[in-house]
Amino acid sequence: MIKVFYSLVIGVLMLGWSQHGYAQKRQYLLHTADNIERLKTQVENDDKIADAWEDQLRKAEQVVKSDRQSASDCQVLALAYRMTGREAFAEKIREILLANIDKDTWESQGLLNRTPSWKGGLRTSHTSFFLSLGFDAAYEHLSEDDKQKIAKGIVRLGIKPQMENWLDPETSFHTFDTMGHNWWSACVYMAGLSAIAVRNEIPEAERWIEEIAGTAGEWIGYSGSVLQNKIPTFDQDGGFYESINYAAYGVSQYLLFRYALEQAMPSMEQEDFPILEKVVDFFIHTTYYVEGDLPLSVNFGDTNVHRNGNSCVVLLYNLGYRDDRYTWYLNQVNKGSDKEGLEVNSPNGLILYPDLPTLEGDYTPDLAHSHLYKEMDWATMRNSWENDATMLAVKSGFSWNHAHADAGSFILFHQGKNLIIDSGNSSYGNPLYTTYYCQSEAHNVILWDGKGQDRKDPYFGTVNHGDLHHLIDGDHYKYLLADASGPYAHLLRRNYRSFLWVGDVILVIDDLLAHQPGKFEWLLHYNGVSKRSGKDLSIKEGDAEVLVRPLFPETFPDAGLPHDFPEQMRLEEKMGYKDHEPENKVPYWSISHFEESARTKFVNAIVLKEDGQPVPEVEPFEGKDFLGVRITQGGEVTEVYFNLLADGRLKHRNSVINMNGWETDAYLTALTFDVGSDRTTSENVKKLFVGHGSYLRRDGQVMVHSLSKLYGEFGFDDDGKAYIDGQAGAKVSMNGSSFERFQVNGQSVNHSVDEESGLFTFRLSDK
């Protein structure tokens, strides 16, 4: 039932509205006449919005009754005043404004004590934003003397310090590669928003606004620094390497300025940045959607698993960037309350909450299930856009500042839970932030003799970055290669991690070579309860469960005591620290081999348990120069072959091998058959995967051939499909003369068929 309370308040105060010509006298930053009218209509028609408004109104009334003079209270007071016209709210804003402009500085003493003194930092930015919103909303209530005095105070304490530190040629010392990635946006664009607020009182304001607006292209396009080990702030596909938290923060600060400028000064043209639309897709890809609960996100670096891109998408939607997937995303994430997130239960989120269209049917985004951010080296892979699906996220990129020493790390969401986790972070002032949370041991990576990346990487940055390559998002197989060799170069010559996802099994294959013999460890951080049962390590939270099964170099002992089986894998419980709770210790696992070695291969299977479904059978096998894994599930058998000759040990010789009759040079090969079919003949192959290979043959029958090595899935049903990552323009042949239709990477391709050999030949696109 829609609350009567709001209607009574508005009815009693309706006369007050006629006495205030808000829209006629002031072009507001956020609290525009259109936004007010939209919100009033939403309150009348939507219980959720009505509840949120009543909550904000109560908070505003409490602030009026209190003695506090916090700048942040201007947000809720601004909303309440513009919605009701009650003078008490405006008068409280005036009181807060006058109290805060009477201060010597809005900045923290810690920044002021630096050399040179940082007069314009985040505290100044936040205070300036809060007070500017209050000044703007209460503008018609303030006297001319008040306006002049307050505007000059905002300039002295909010705008000038930022201009001097960040923009003024005679005094600035910050740039895009110091604190520029998110601080630039917060400090510079909040100064710009404040300049918009005081534009009527301060003659120079319009010049400042134009100057600040003109920096956006350089900030978004920052290209990195070789000498200072910095990478571009934005990936070409809209990713932001400093974490979801700082992506949302940095981008939303710019968008707040952009939106305020569009509303208050619409005649001032702003440059269009196509990457902003890609930023939305970045948030969609890195969010995990949970039925009946708050969504979760990929929490690499300094962020929170509940942080998301709601604030950015709300602002972009208001700026006219609209698509059904934006609507779908906002319906998923616009929940809860966050001081910067613009959720509906926050004062700024409520005034900006858009009228969203109703989506037809069981809508899901028209995006691929997987995406690789090639410049920042993050990737996400999921089996569905449905709630409570399975999502794997991998990072092997840059370490510095908010990006931790986590090259090759991964996290896993399954059945609504984050089961294999990132350790998260703590407050930056806690010593454990530097000594634990930022370091390799807090992540799901490889250690050698207890060591990971150089412990100074989060401070100085990684000279040799990690990389992700060759994402395959096929109908049957998903694959990704993580190269963490660069960040581990002081310890390892090779640190490659392959993820091969087949049905309900994800194989994690580590190819490792050290400079000298030592002990390799495979780290696993988890949520919930974890215990070993036979050859499996169970990780369970609620009804969600996965099994982790070491396969190579050995399995866990199936029975008995560890000292009875010294040759098999060791499981050691170690203690770390809980995400955002460094006062609480939590266990994590280390899996290692008993003997020291310079070269080893870890092959571990992550088995996804599904309600009511049989658990897949996973068993290792091996032969001369290869390791194998056999997976039986859903009426199919998949055999995976790892060619040991292809691990870099051969020079000037191709890694030619015969593995149980399959001739290839591929690093990885996977073949899927029906259960019970003859697996020694090429005719029964339903689908296959080739990883870094140029050919696969059986008894003279060519299955796949290319002059250059490629990665890809190849299907052999009537509607032929291939998903390939390889050299542009490469000529590829495969056994497929019976195809009625054929697509490569979702696109039809020109092809030819050799009637004698039955080979189906095409060229890879150069795109």
- Give residue 748's pLDDT: 86
Q: In sequence order, what are the beta bridge partners of 591?
A: 522, 571
Helix then strand then coil, in percent of the chain rounded to 5, is 30, 30, 40
Whether residue 420 contacts residue 394, with contact meaning beta carbons closer than 8 Å, is answered with no
Among 7-11, 16-20, 278-282, name the one with the lowest average pLDDT: 16-20
Res. 527: pLDDT tops 60: yes
Res. 480: pLDDT tops 50: yes
Q: pTM above the 0.85 mark? A: yes
Mean per-residue pLDDT, 593-611: 95
Q: 749 falls in which pLDDT band (50, 70, 90)?
A: confident
Among 405-414, 577-586, 747-756, name the one with the lowest average pLDDT: 747-756
Mean per-residue pLDDT, 258-268: 97
Mean per-residue pLDDT, 296-305: 96
- Give residue 181's pLDDT: 78
**Three-class DSSP category at 621:** strand
Q: In sequence order, what are the beta bridge partners of 722?
A: 714, 744
Q: In sequence order, what are the beta bridge partners of 721?
A: 743
Residue 74: its H or E element? helix 74-84
**Interval 448-473: pLDDT, tens:** 999 999 999 999 999 999 999 999 99
Instruction: DSSP for 111-146, please give it.
Output: HHTSSS---SSHHHHHHHHHHHHHHHHTTTTS-HHH
Instruction: DSSP for 734-750, please give it.
Output: EE-TT-SEEEETTEE--
Phi, psi of 256 (to 5 degrees): -60, -45
Mean per-residue pLDDT, 508-531: 98
Greater confidence, 62 or 753?
62
**Three-class DSSP category at 383:** coil
Determine the Cα–Cα distance for residues 164 and 147; give it in Å rounded to an integer. 24
Res. 11: pLDDT tops 60: no
**Interval 634-692: pLDDT, tens:** 999 999 999 999 999 998 889 999 999 999 999 999 999 999 999 999 999 999 999 99
Determine the Cα–Cα distance for residues 448 and 33; give it in Å rounded to an integer. 62
For 38-161, strand residue ranges (E) read none
Res. 2: pLDDT tops 60: no
DSSP-assigned letter for residue 101: T
- Give residue 767's pLDDT: 60
Q: To the nearest whole number, what is the mean pLDDT of the chain?
A: 93
- Give residue 337's pLDDT: 60
For 557-684, strand residue ranges (E) read 570-578, 581-592, 597-608, 617-623, 626-633, 636-643, 657-659, 662-664, 668-674
Mean per-residue pLDDT, 41-62: 97
Count the residues in the chain: 767
Res. 46: pLDDT tops 80: yes
- Give residue 720's pLDDT: 78
- Give residue 197's pLDDT: 98
- Give residue 328's pLDDT: 97
Mean per-residue pLDDT, 591-620: 95
Q: Which residues contact 616 (CB under 8 A, 6 or more apart)?
A: 503, 504, 505, 607, 631, 632, 633
Phi, psi of 311 (to 5 degrees): -60, -45
- Take residue 360 and report the two structure tokens written for it: 């037809």
Res. 97: pLDDT tops 90: yes
- Cα separations in angstroms, 738 against 177, 354, 702, 741: 56, 52, 15, 9
Mean per-residue pLDDT, 578-594: 96
Amino acid in position 488: Y
Amino acid in position 589: W
By C-alpha distance, which of 535, 425, 478 is closest to 712? Answer: 478
**Three-class DSSP category at 9:** helix
Whether residue 184 contacts residue 172, with contact meaning beta carbons closer than 8 Å, is answered with no
Res. 718: pLDDT tops 90: no
**Interval 327-368: pLDDT, tens:** 999 999 988 665 557 999 999 999 999 999 999 989 999 999
Q: Which residues contact 251 (CB under 8 A, 6 or more apart)?
A: 185, 240, 276, 279, 309, 312
Q: What share of the chain has pLDDT > 90, as a percent?
A: 86
Determine the Cα–Cα distance for residues 646 and 546; give it in Å rounded to an integer. 31
- Give residue 320's pLDDT: 96
Mean per-residue pLDDT, 283-300: 96
Mean per-residue pLDDT, 691-705: 96
Phi, psi of 531 (to 5 degrees): -155, 155
Phi, psi of 485 (to 5 degrees): -65, -40
- Take residue 25 and report the two structure tokens written for it: 């006298």
Determine the Cα–Cα distance for residues 410 and 466; give it in Å rounded to an integer. 13
- Give residue 695's pLDDT: 97
Mean per-residue pLDDT, 388-397: 97
Mean per-residue pLDDT, 372-377: 97
Mean per-residue pLDDT, 397-402: 93
In a 13 Å sphere around the CA of 424, the CA atoms on its Cβ side amount to 22
- Give residue 10's pLDDT: 45
Handedness of CA 431, 434, 436, 438 (dihedral sign): positive
Q: 721 falls in which pLDDT band (50, 70, 90)?
A: confident
Q: 22 falls in which pLDDT band (50, 70, 90)?
A: very low
By C-alpha distance, which of 570, 553, 550 is closest to 512? Answer: 553
Whether residue 478 contacts residue 421, with contact meaning beta carbons closer than 8 Å, is answered with no
- Cα separations in angstroms, 624 against 195, 601, 641, 645, 701: 72, 15, 11, 10, 23
By C-alpha distance, which of 332, 588, 564, 336 is closest to 439? Answer: 588
Determine the Cα–Cα distance for residues 763 and 743; give it in Å rounded to an integer. 12
**Interval 70-82: pLDDT, tens:** 999 999 999 999 9
Mean per-residue pLDDT, 319-323: 96
DSSP-assigned letter for residue 594: S
Q: 325 falls in which pLDDT band (50, 70, 90)?
A: very high
Whether residue 80 contacts residue 137, with contact meaning beta carbons closer than 8 Å, is answered with no
Pairing of strands 581-592, 570-578: antiparallel
- Give residue 525's pLDDT: 98
- Give residue 73's pLDDT: 98
Mean per-residue pLDDT, 686-713: 96
Q: Which residues contact 108 (CB under 8 A, 6 or more apart)?
A: 121, 123
Determine the Cα–Cα distance for residues 673 and 320; give it in Å rounded to an integer. 50
DSSP-assigned letter for residue 225: B
- Take residue 32 and report the two structure tokens written for it: 């525009």
Amino acid in position 130: F
DSSP-assigned letter for residue 167: T
Whether residue 299 contacts residue 310, with contact meaning beta carbons closer than 8 Å, is answered with no
- Give residue 340's pLDDT: 58
3-state secondary structure 229-257: CECCCECCCCCECCCHHHHHHHHHHHHHH
- Cα separations in angstroms, 286 against 135, 409, 412, 537: 37, 15, 12, 27
- Take residue 294 and report the two structure tokens written for it: 């708050």
Whether residue 671 contacts residue 630, with contact meaning beta carbons closer than 8 Å, is answered with no
Res. 1: pLDDT tops 80: no
- Take residue 592 and report the two structure tokens written for it: 């290692």
Q: In sequence order, what are the beta bridge partners of 498?
A: 481, 509
Determine the Cα–Cα distance for residues 161 and 580; give it in Å rounded to an integer. 32
- Take residue 474 and report the two structure tokens written for it: 């096929």
